[in-house]
Structure 1
């Protein structure tokens, strides 16, 4: 039996800012079902974690963590949830504040956490065979493990290469407490780069879709790390994310108006409910297009912004939920005010509202500039809502363009980052919606789309088996 320790900065249901938390919350449960593998998770203990969870914590031990010339106090806590043991590292100076990210000392905070993971290893209830770290916040844990613990193998997963954890080179002497001979393994272009440190030191590197694994070897997608990724290409593998199909299940979702499996009539009940709630024209036969997303450039909203008014001339409705860049918020608010019967914009995030939109909509728009994996298109397929995506990263791997000749495909896609290619895909979806001979086979393919963690967990277990045979 090999024991894996996941190190990450967030995890559902304890703390979530994005898709990383969903992965860390659900993948360990899937791995626990794999023969020969046991998983633990270690996280920071954030101030704003709900009291519901804090009250269940069991204190394991106090310890200290060297951060430069200081020895920072820390405590280790344990909570067993849903069959997985979770550990939390508490330190009031770094994590006793509101929010997760966005502080001027984020680099130092996660240097502390990464080193604390290593210092906590002797305090855990099991010896750890493999440390599996996720994204830049825990990248230095891989480096520290490689330097300080020869008995542990390491895996590092890139969830989004855009965020790398840059610090000035002085951080090495100020924070790291390792010999100068290790400087080159952390340095990148004259600075300390936490993600580069992980890529340099990890035994295996994974990312969240096969297409993204190929894309990040190219300068356009790599954010400057293509040379080291090409050097480590033999150790790099893309494994598509899954979703928790029990959590995202329209048959028993408590947030939606009318539970369903694949019934179009029930989806129309959800659509009518949402139209009423959002003061849109009540007509369940009008095709509804959804966006549930951060309103940022990465998600392709420059494209949608360019063609939205032209598309709204059709007999359609567009529902958007999310927050993000002020310019996008204002631009989409303009269209929502101009076409109040056709478009709704909610500048917030609400899990209940998101589920209601997935359940009510016919199509889901996701024209990303780049997308490591994407969970939204997987959720939309789970709710029998047809995705319209750009062919990049995980979107290419999970959404296959509908072919009306062969009847294959579970969505609509376009290749180039071009607004009118998006408009063409949306117009083609509208045509298909009004032709039963096209829409029926398309929906049949959507109904067969499955993206649980089961297959992905087997692939991760294969990576672990290469490092530590059971």
Structure 2
């Protein structure tokens, strides 16, 4: 039996700030069920962890973690849940704070955590076979493991290359506790770069969709790391994320007004309920467009705000849920005030409200500038809501544009990062919506779309087996 240790900075249901937590919460379980591998997951113990889970933790020892000239103590805790062993690293100085990220010393915090990961692995009774680390926060774990445990195979997954864990070059001497010969493997453009260190030292590199794996080898998407990724091209592969289809199941979701499987009549009941809740005109036949996201440039909101005035001249409704950049919040609040019978902007995030919107909407908007994989379009398909996306990264790999001639496709897409291409695509979706004979085959394709972790887990398993033969 292969023993794989996952290292990550967040994981549902313990702590979540984004899609990374969903992946770490679901992929280990899928691997265990599909392959029988032994899976352990190492996480920081954040102050915000829910007491319901904190109370289940079992003490599992202590650690002395070297961080430069200091030795930082840490308590180790263990929790076994659904066959997965979770280890939590507790250190009040680094993790006893509100929120997981956003501190001036995030680099030092996750160098500490990365070194703790390797200390935990070295202390295990039986040495694991593979370390699988995720995003920059655990990038140095791959580097430390390669230096200190060269026989341990390692995989590094890039979830978003835009965030790399930069530190001044002095951090090498202040934090790393490795010889100067290892400086080149961690340095990039005069600074220490945690993601670069992982890409340099890992045996295999994955990212979260095949298209994104190709995109990040180009200067436009590579965020400065494209030369290194091209050097490691033979070891780089993309595997599309899945979602927990048992959790995102409109037939069993307790947040919905009416549960449904594929029934459009019941989906319209959810729409009418949401319209009442949001004080929109109640009409199940008005096409509803939704967006649920952080309000950041990456998500394509510049495009959306430029065409809302034109699009809201149509007989449509638009519902937006999220928070983020102040300018976007104000812009979407402005449009909601200008068109109170057609648009609602909810400046918050609520998981229950998000699911109610997925269930009510006819179309889901995701015009991203770049998107490594994206989970929202997968969730929208689970809730039988038609995605409208830009053809980038995982959006290209999961949403096939509808062809009214052949009847193929499960959504709508546009190629260029251009506001009026988005507007044209949204108007085209309106046309299809108004033509039942064209809408029917599209909805049938949406109903058949499945993105569980089952297929992705098989691809990861194949990669692990190949890695262990090297």
TM-score, with normalisation over the residues of structure 1? 0.99
Check the 8 A contact 1:111/1:176 in 2, yes or no.
yes
SS at match of 2:35: coil
Partner of 2:340: 340
Partner of 2:157: 157
Partner of 1:203: 203
Partner of 2:91: 91
Check the 8 A contact 1:37/1:461 in 2, yes or no.
no
Partner of 1:436: 436
Partner of 2:464: 464
**Separation (CA, whole Å) in 1 of partners of 2:360 and 2:85:** 37
How do residues 316-335 of structure 1 correspond to structure 2 at under 5 angstroms?
A: 316-335=316-335
- For each residue in 1:377-436, what CA deviation from the matched residue of structure 2 results, as whole angstroms up to 9, or x when unmatched? 000000000000000000000000000000000000000000000001000101111100
Partner of 2:64: 64
SS at match of 2:402: coil
Partner of 2:307: 307
- Report how far residue 81 of structure 1 moved: 1.3
**Separation (CA, whole Å) in 1 of partners of 2:410 and 2:266:** 20
How do residues 5-404 of structure 1 correspond to structure 2 at under 5 angstroms?
A: 5-35=5-35, 37-124=37-124, 126-404=126-404
Stretches of structure 2 lacking an aligned partner (at least 5 in a row): none
- For each residue in 1:311-362, what CA deviation from the matched residue of structure 2 results, as whole angstroms up to 9, or x when unmatched? 0000000000000110111011000001111101000100000000000000
**Separation (CA, whole Å) in 2 of partners of 1:403 and 1:126:** 54
SS at match of 1:33: helix
- Report how far residue 151 of structure 1 moved: 2.5
**Separation (CA, whole Å) in 2 of partners of 1:86 and 1:267:** 38
CA RMSD of aligned residues (A): 1.0
**Separation (CA, whole Å) in 1 of partners of 2:354 and 2:363:** 14
**Separation (CA, whole Å) in 1 of partners of 2:252 and 2:469:** 39
**Separation (CA, whole Å) in 2 of partners of 1:133 and 1:375:** 20
- Report how far residue 122 of structure 1 moved: 3.4
**Separation (CA, whole Å) in 2 of partners of 1:133 and 1:283:** 48
- Report how far residue 294 of structure 1 moved: 0.5
**Separation (CA, whole Å) in 1 of partners of 2:390 and 2:122:** 46
- For each residue in 1:269-309, what CA deviation from the matched residue of structure 2 results, as whole angstroms up to 9, or x when unmatched? 00000000001111111000000000110000000010011
**Separation (CA, whole Å) in 1 of partners of 2:34 and 2:253:** 27
- Report how far residue 469 of structure 1 moved: 5.2
**Separation (CA, whole Å) in 2 of partners of 1:121 and 1:390:** 41
**Separation (CA, whole Å) in 1 of partners of 2:43 and 2:280:** 43
The 1:58–1:469 alpha-carbon spacing in structure 2 relative to 1, beyond 3 Å, is: farther
SS at match of 2:372: coil
**Separation (CA, whole Å) in 1 of partners of 2:27 and 2:124:** 21
**Separation (CA, whole Å) in 2 of partners of 1:110 and 1:411:** 39
- For each residue in 1:62-103, what CA deviation from the matched residue of structure 2 results, as whole angstroms up to 9, or x when unmatched? 120000000000111100112211110110110011110000
SS at match of 1:157: strand
Q: Is 2:398 the partner of 1:405?
A: no
Stretches of structure 1 lacking an aligned partner (at least 5 in a row): none
**Separation (CA, whole Å) in 2 of partners of 1:389 and 1:159:** 19
SS at match of 2:93: helix
SS at match of 1:468: helix
- For each residue in 1:183-233, what CA deviation from the matched residue of structure 2 results, as whole angstroms up to 9, or x when unmatched? 000000000000000000000000000000000000000000000000000
- For each residue in 1:235-273, what CA deviation from the matched residue of structure 2 results, as whole angstroms up to 9, or x when unmatched? 000000000000000000011110000000000000000
**Separation (CA, whole Å) in 2 of partners of 1:82 and 1:47:** 23
Check the 8 A contact 1:2/1:468 in 2, yes or no.
no
**Separation (CA, whole Å) in 1 of partners of 2:126 and 2:422:** 51
Check the 8 A contact 1:6/1:40 in 2, yes or no.
yes
- Report how far residue 37 of structure 1 moved: 2.0
Check the 8 A contact 1:3/1:126 in 2, yes or no.
no
Check the 8 A contact 1:61/1:123 in 2, yes or no.
no
- For each residue in 1:4-62, what CA deviation from the matched residue of structure 2 results, as whole angstroms up to 9, or x when unmatched? 00000000000000000000000000000233522110000001101001000001101
Check the 8 A contact 1:321/1:349 in 2, yes or no.
yes
Q: Which moved more, 1:82-91 or 1:205-214?
A: 82-91
**Separation (CA, whole Å) in 2 of partners of 1:221 and 1:5:** 29
Check the 8 A contact 1:139/1:156 in 2, yes or no.
yes
